[in-house]
Amino acid sequence: MNTPAPLPPLEILLVICQIFILVYFSVLNLSYALLTYFGFRYIARFNQQLSPLMLNNLLQLNIYKPISLLVPAYNEEKTIIASVRSFLSLHYPEFEVIVVSDGSKDRTIDVLIEAYQLYEVGDQLPYHENIVCQDILRAFRSRTYSNLIVLEKKNGGKADALNAALKYSRHDLVCAVDADSVLDVEALVRTARMFVEDETVIAVGGTIRPLNGSVVENGQLLQLRLPKSWIERVQVIEYCRAFFTGRAGWAEIDAMLIISGAFGVFSRQAMLEIGGYNTSTVGEDIELVVRLHKKFRQAKVPYRILFCPDPLCWTEVPDSFRVLRRQRNRWQRGLFETLWSHRDMTFNPRYGRMGMISMPFAWLFDAFSPIIEIIGYIFIPISFAFGILDFEFAALFLLLVVIYGIMLSYMSLGIEVMMQNRYPRLEDRVTLMLVTLTEFIYFRQILLWERFIALFQVWRKRGQWGAMERKGLK
Amino acid sequence: MWRREGERAYELILLLIVLFSVISFFVLATDFAMRTVGGQSWLPLGRSLELAILIAGASGAALAFYITVYHILSLIYWRRHQAELLSWRVRWAQLLVTNAPSLPDDLPPAAITTLIQFMQVVDSSANLAALIGDKTRDSWLRKLTRGSTAQKLTTLEQISATGLNDFLPVTLAMMTHPASAVRGAAAHCSAALVGAMPPGDARLTAIGQFAYVLNRSNLPKLIFQEALLLTKEAAPRLIACVLVFPHIDIKIAQAALEAAGRLGLVDLAPLIARYLKHHDENVRCAAVKALAQLRYVPPRFYLTVQLLAVDPHIETRIAALHALVYVYDPVSFQLMARAADRHDSRWVRAAAKELLKKTVGGSAGPRRAVQSGA
């Protein structure tokens, strides 16, 4: 009987790599499929809970938790007037808007002073002393809107600006929003309701959707349209996946790791207890949520962090690869910085599902995925050269990767059709399905490479944002 | 209905995709591992991979087909549903005017929806409520007892819109349901039914029963408050009933105190003031806040409110400062002035300054008391 000759060490290594990549791919895709299923269940249950009719009846009773909107702004002179107008026109019985100009070098403060008739209030405003931020240079109130406060401070980054706003917030709930975002008029109503119905809720993340191509008037979204360019359309699908598969899926198993910085509502008390945002990371949104989990788990206080599937916030997404790469680079660094600084939570049963499922998943399938995928791309020709990989097999495997990715996107798009139906025209649906087919050709590889590079820039670029160019709402 | 069916089908599709994916990836990984370590596989080379591709491709195609078909069918269904709603609106209008058209025994959902809409705008709601009760009683009871959570929630909402108070025993029983969403909806519904009852002994009995169950329903504070306020004219009696309970839930005590303040129930001030010395800081705070909202502090509780102005709980201190405006005693003004000058919390200081600004030169209590005392 012939026994096969033993393989040389390099080939053994390649074989092990092959098996690892295959298992990695299988587990990753199965997890995404499972998360989509969980996400669907979460959204279906959410939709059954409270009808709009009943919600309106209850709102007439005027029972609510007042909210402070925290709006950090840096060089936003083009968009700030429309954004603040959109925030001030939200349907909610009691809220205040705190805009913080974080050392803007353009006319952000000047345009606000003119548009909202601001006057300086000196040091009259009370504040929470345990929140630290860069010096506040001037504080303003508005003659036309009693619920508008504007702060001008030294530049300290987005997290520092959010801390400044948090420091001056008066209400039980605080809502962090990006200055360039447009909120749905019912955004606060829907999210604040989740705090009313369950007193253990400490944070609620909302669904963010791309705004590009839509018609916005007076800071309100009038008509949702698909963006014109391919790169923006691909991001519509990405956001569908991120929110209906990612956020909703994790929320279903009570292990949500991220609340988007563009829109999130938090219990002010919980925020004050953890000292507000961490200013040393560019991923202040994910870091905040991880720290909230950590704090409440350690204190053994029952708490919940939820996701609101209603489309609450519309944001301008990058329309060029240059800006998109910069954004994804920052996201990847923010994720890695957070996971690294809270690495003690990983595989730590003290932190429950967060420690045992969410954190390991984020390490393996989000933080390190660029390295593994890039190795996979490099590995195929090498294995082929060594004759340990069948060409047909490699080609079929790549085909499987693409088809499975498309299928996962369709699963998320299906949830959008069933539950949200925000693109009512059939041609929009068909367009999105066709765009999904092309996502894997160029878009994915470019972003993969950027995320790969970002991993090597984590320490060198710690805390650096990079400029985001705004076109301004049309 | 259509939407729910569509969701169920989609959930099944997703579940099947997950199951098939598990099978195909397991076969693929096992086959590949056996082959690469030199063992024998039970499948020819690449067959497991072809199977995985086939399953993924078929799943993707099925999803694309389902999404497109669902989109088209739901559009057709939506148009048909709108037509059905319109036709039922016409039938209800005819019924109101001429009492002519006969109705089927089992009303479809569109009929109930339009009837409830009618009841919200048309005056003769009692007749319509009786009609809807006759036609749907059995179906509603079935849904409340054996239906899914979604059905229970919808039915409770429909019952509360009709104000059919013979459902009250059932809705009260549902206020102790294990699902908090159902408990909350049952509390809202029961409150609406109690609120729709005419004054009399029956309403008094219902208020007592509702208060008793409410105290055991373990709902969030604001849901309690919503339930109290939804009882409309019955709210003062209900709140008084809740506040005299010997073993009252802390959350419902807060809710009742806040509701009393919000509704301006001055008659309940002595009852509210009894909670000023409650061991729970949030209850103390709610009580003093309610008195401030009522703009009245019973004289025998002046000292208690003044003591709360130095309470360790900051929110209570701020609420007490607001109530001090109605404590006609020179000490009140001194306490306010002291809080404005050198108090530890900036929030208390800001509140005191604001109140002093309002009271100086105005007609409010402490300033007037100081002036008259001087």
- Structure confidence at residue B344 (pLDDT): 66
With an 8 Å Cβ cutoff, are B46 and A40 in contact? no
Q: Helices B125-146 and B149-162 sit at what angle, rounded to 10 degrees?
A: 160
- Structure confidence at residue A6 (pLDDT): 63
Could you tell me the pLDDT band of residue A52, with boundaries at 50, 70 and 90? low
The answer to whether residue A121 neighbours chain B at the CB level (below 8 Å) is no
Q: In Å, how far are A172, B228, B252, B329, B348 from B323, measured between CA atoms?
A: 21, 24, 22, 12, 13
The more confidently predicted of residues A204 and A225 is A204
With an 8 Å Cβ cutoff, are B149 and A198 in contact? no
Residues of chain B positioned with their CB less than 8 A from the CB of A440: none
> Phi then psi for A266, rounded to 5 degrees?
-130, 155
| Nearest C-alpha neighbor of A33 from the set A405, A284, A387, A462 | A405
Looking at chain A from residue 389 to 408, which residues have their Cβ under 8 Å from any Cβ of chain B?
390, 392-393, 396-397, 399-400, 403-404, 406-407
- Structure confidence at residue A18 (pLDDT): 79
The answer to whether residue B6 neighbours chain A at the CB level (below 8 Å) is yes
Query: What gap in Å lies between CA B319 and CA B305, rounded to an integer?
Result: 10
Could you tell me the pLDDT band of residue A462, with boundaries at 50, 70 and 90? low
| Minimum distance, in Å, between the CA of residue A31 and any CA atom of chain B | 9
Q: Which range has highest mean pLDDT (A117-126, A148-157, A439-448, B67-76)?
A: A148-157
Closest partner CB to A410 (pick from B15, B63, B72):
B63
- Structure confidence at residue A7 (pLDDT): 64
With an 8 Å Cβ cutoff, are B21 and A33 in contact? yes
Query: What gap in Å lies between CA A306 and CA A293, rounded to an integer?
Result: 12
- Structure confidence at residue A234 (pLDDT): 95
Tokens of B189: 């519904």
* Residues near A257 by beta carbon (within 8 Å), at least 6 away in sequence: A250, A286, A289, A290, A293, A354, A358, A359, A362
| Nearest C-alpha neighbor of B232 from the set B192, B198, B282, B292 | B192
With an 8 Å Cβ cutoff, are B346 and A397 in contact? no
Could you tell me the pLDDT band of residue A467, with boundaries at 50, 70 and 90? low
CA dihedral of A197, A198, A204, A209, whole degrees rounded to 10: -30
Q: Is residue A359's pLDDT more than 90? A: yes
With an 8 Å Cβ cutoff, are A19 and B150 in contact? no
Query: What gap in Å lies between CA B311 and CA A225, rounded to an integer?
Result: 56
Query: What gap in Å lies between CA A160 and CA A166, rounded to an integer?
Result: 10
Tokens of A231: 């790169």
Q: Show the low-confidence residues of chain B (pLDDT under 50).
A: 363, 373-374
pLDDT (tens digit, 9 = 90+) per residue, A263-296?
999 999 999 999 999 999 989 999 999 999 999 9
Looking at chain A from residue 173 to 232, which residues have their Cβ under 8 Å from any Cβ of chain B?
196-199
Lowest mean pLDDT of A4-18, A98-112, A255-269, name the range: A4-18
The residue-averaged pLDDT of A156-180 equals: 94
Of all residues in chain A, the percent with pLDDT exceeding 90 is 62
- Structure confidence at residue B320 (pLDDT): 94
The more confidently predicted of residues A320 and A472 is A320
Tell me whether strands A148-153 and A136-142 are parallel, antiparallel or unpaired. antiparallel
- Structure confidence at residue A312 (pLDDT): 79
A144 within 8 A of A117, measured Cβ to Cβ: yes
| Minimum distance, in Å, between the CA of residue B69 and any CA atom of chain A | 10
- Structure confidence at residue A1 (pLDDT): 46
| Minimum distance, in Å, between the CA of residue B347 and any CA atom of chain A | 6
The residue assigned the tokens 């599902």 is A353
pLDDT (tens digit, 9 = 90+) per residue, A396-412?
888 999 999 999 999 99
A319 CB neighbour count, 10 Å cutoff: 19
Residues of chain B positioned with their CB less than 8 A from the CB of A397: 49
- Structure confidence at residue B235 (pLDDT): 94
- Structure confidence at residue A307 (pLDDT): 95
**Minimum CA–CA partner of B161 in chain A:** A54
| Minimum distance, in Å, between the CA of residue A30 and any CA atom of chain B | 7
With an 8 Å Cβ cutoff, are B14 and A40 in contact? yes
Q: Is residue A343's pLDDT more than 90? A: yes
Closest partner CB to B223 (pick from A129, A197, A419):
A197
ipTM (interface pTM): 0.86
Residues of chain B positioned with their CB less than 8 A from the CB of A18: 32, 36
* Residues near B320 by beta carbon (within 8 Å), at least 6 away in sequence: B288, B305, B306, B308, B309, B311
Closest partner CB to B64 (pick from A65, A129, A410):
A410
pLDDT (tens digit, 9 = 90+) per residue, B270-306?
999 999 999 999 999 999 999 999 999 999 999 999 9
A183 within 8 A of A263, measured Cβ to Cβ: yes
Looking at chain A from residue 326 to 355, which residues have their Cβ under 8 Å from any Cβ of chain B?
none
